[in-house]
């Protein structure tokens, strides 16, 4: 496993993937099973490059950029065990060393949900993802469904700017009791950890009500808010259409149930992607199935 600190060192690995797609999994480190599941998904298609970079521009003022957990040696040990081809751990100056006059702003998908409460967050995410795509030059990039709005905002950037990369969303990995894995779960003490489960409970309550036949957005939001009463501060509980993230009074088709709340010192988010028809509620995916990636990238 190569550990590269500069884009130049990474470029020297160009011969690494031969006729297979180069797969990229961007992360901010403090790796857990959620990140590793994305790496495993990617390994089936080709050599995987994982980036570990805590991106300053996606944190707002007063957010946890300084406190964000960093443990490079533990991360490298985990990635070594998965036969990752290369890890890219650039300094801030490697990524932001230039003039940085150009940034990428999200379209309307970035306005609500986390975009509403974290102004500038998705511009920071898109700008760093575009920079990382430019440095890693992947054929395939994998993102977690856990950050659903992020996936959809990035998908719009890739489509609108004609970026030559195929996006894949990996399923949300959870603890046994349902809590979505997150690097920020490290902030939770035992009491907060127990209360943090209210996010998953809220989503399940919303899904159960849909399964019972309710299709009114207001009723679904209300039942989710009821469960979120255990949080210290509720940021949002929303029902949005996928992929556009538009609001609708009636729930139908591909749908995102999304919640965000402060529990103890941690700001936590979670979601469920559902396919809602007249008589059925089934689990859904965010991004369209990419088809057979392996055969698409096999060159003659």
Active-site residue list: 35
What letter does residue 176 receive in the DSSP assignment? T
- Nearer to ligand AMP by Cβ, of 72 and 219: the residue is 72
Stretch that binds ligand AMP, among 28-36, 110-118, 194-202, 260-268 (CB under 6 A): 28-36
Asked if residue 35 binds ligand AMP (CB under 6 A), the reply is yes
Asked if residue 28 binds ligand AMP (CB under 6 A), the reply is yes
> Can you read off the two tokens belonging to residue 182?
């997150």
C-alpha 78/C-alpha 75 separation (Å) is: 5
Asked if residue 170 binds ligand AMP (CB under 6 A), the reply is yes
E-only strand ranges, 28-101: 48-52, 86-88
Backbone angles phi, psi at 135, to 5 degrees: -85, -40
Rounded to a whole number of angstroms, the minimum distance from the CB of residue 79 to ligand AMP is 13
- Nearer to ligand AMP by Cβ, of 172 and 255: the residue is 172
* Measured distance between the N- and C-terminal CA atoms of the chain, rounded to whole angstroms: 28
Site for ligand AMP (CB under 6 A): how many residues?
A: 17
- Nearer to ligand AMP by Cβ, of 144 and 221: the residue is 144
Asked if residue 42 binds ligand AMP (CB under 6 A), the reply is no
Rounded to a whole number of angstroms, the minimum distance from the CB of residue 180 to ligand AMP is 5
Buried b (16+ CB within 10 A) or exposed e, 192-209: bbebbbbbbbbbbbbbeb
Backbone angles phi, psi at 240, to 5 degrees: -135, 155
> Can you read off the two tokens belonging to residue 49?
């490059």
| Sheet-wide strand order for 86-88 | 2-4, 86-88, 48-52, 23-27, 140-144, 166-170
- Nearer to ligand AMP by Cβ, of 17 and 121: the residue is 121
- Nearer to ligand AMP by Cβ, of 143 and 187: the residue is 143
Stretch that binds ligand AMP, among 27-35, 74-82, 216-224, 275-283 (CB under 6 A): 27-35
- x/- mask, ligand AMP, residues 116-155, rule CB under 6 A, reads ---------------------------xx-xx--------
Name which of 52, 25, 20 is nearest 41 in CA terms: 25
C-alpha 161/C-alpha 243 separation (Å) is: 17
What does the binding site for ligand AMP look like in residue numbers (CB under 6 A)?
27-28, 34-35, 37-38, 143-144, 146-147, 170, 172-173, 180-183
């Amino acid at each position: 496993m190569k550990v590269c600190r500069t884009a130049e060192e990474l470029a020297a690995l160009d011969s690494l993937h031969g006729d297979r797609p180069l797969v990229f999994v961007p992360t901010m480190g403090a790796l857990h099973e959620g990140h590793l599941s994305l790496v495993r998904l990617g390994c089936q298609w080709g050599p995987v490059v994982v980036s570990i970079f805590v991106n300053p521009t996606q944190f707002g003022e007063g957010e946890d950029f300084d406190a964000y957990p960093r443990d490079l040696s533990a991360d490298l040990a985990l990635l070594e065990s998965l036969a990752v081809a290369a890890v890219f751990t650039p300094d801030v100056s490697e990524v932001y060393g230039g003039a940085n006059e150009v940034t990428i702003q999200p379209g309307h998908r970035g306005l609500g949900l986390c975009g509403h409460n974290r102004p500038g967050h998705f511009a920071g995410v898109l700008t760093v993802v575009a920079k990382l795509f430019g440095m890693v030059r992947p054929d395939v990039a994998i993102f977690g469904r856990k950050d659903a709005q992020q996936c959809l905002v990035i998908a719009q950037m890739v489509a609108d700017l004609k970026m030559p990369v195929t996006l894949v969303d990996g399923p949300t990995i959870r603890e046994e009791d349902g809590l979505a894995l997150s690097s920020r779960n490290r902030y939770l003490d035992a009491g907060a950890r127990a209360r943090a489960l209210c996010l998953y409970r809220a989503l399940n309550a919303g899904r159960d009500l849909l399964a019972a036949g309710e299709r009114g957005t207001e009723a679904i939001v209300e039942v989710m808010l009821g469960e979120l009463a255990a949080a210290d501060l509720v940021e949002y509980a929303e029902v949005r259409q996928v992929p556009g993230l538009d609001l609708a009074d009636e729930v139908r088709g591909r749908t995102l149930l999304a919640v965000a709340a402060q529990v103890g010192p941690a700001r936590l988010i979670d979601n469920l992607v559902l396919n809602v028809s007249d008589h059925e509620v089934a689990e859904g995916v965010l991004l369209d199935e990419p088809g057979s990636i392996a055969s698409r990238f096999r060159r003659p």
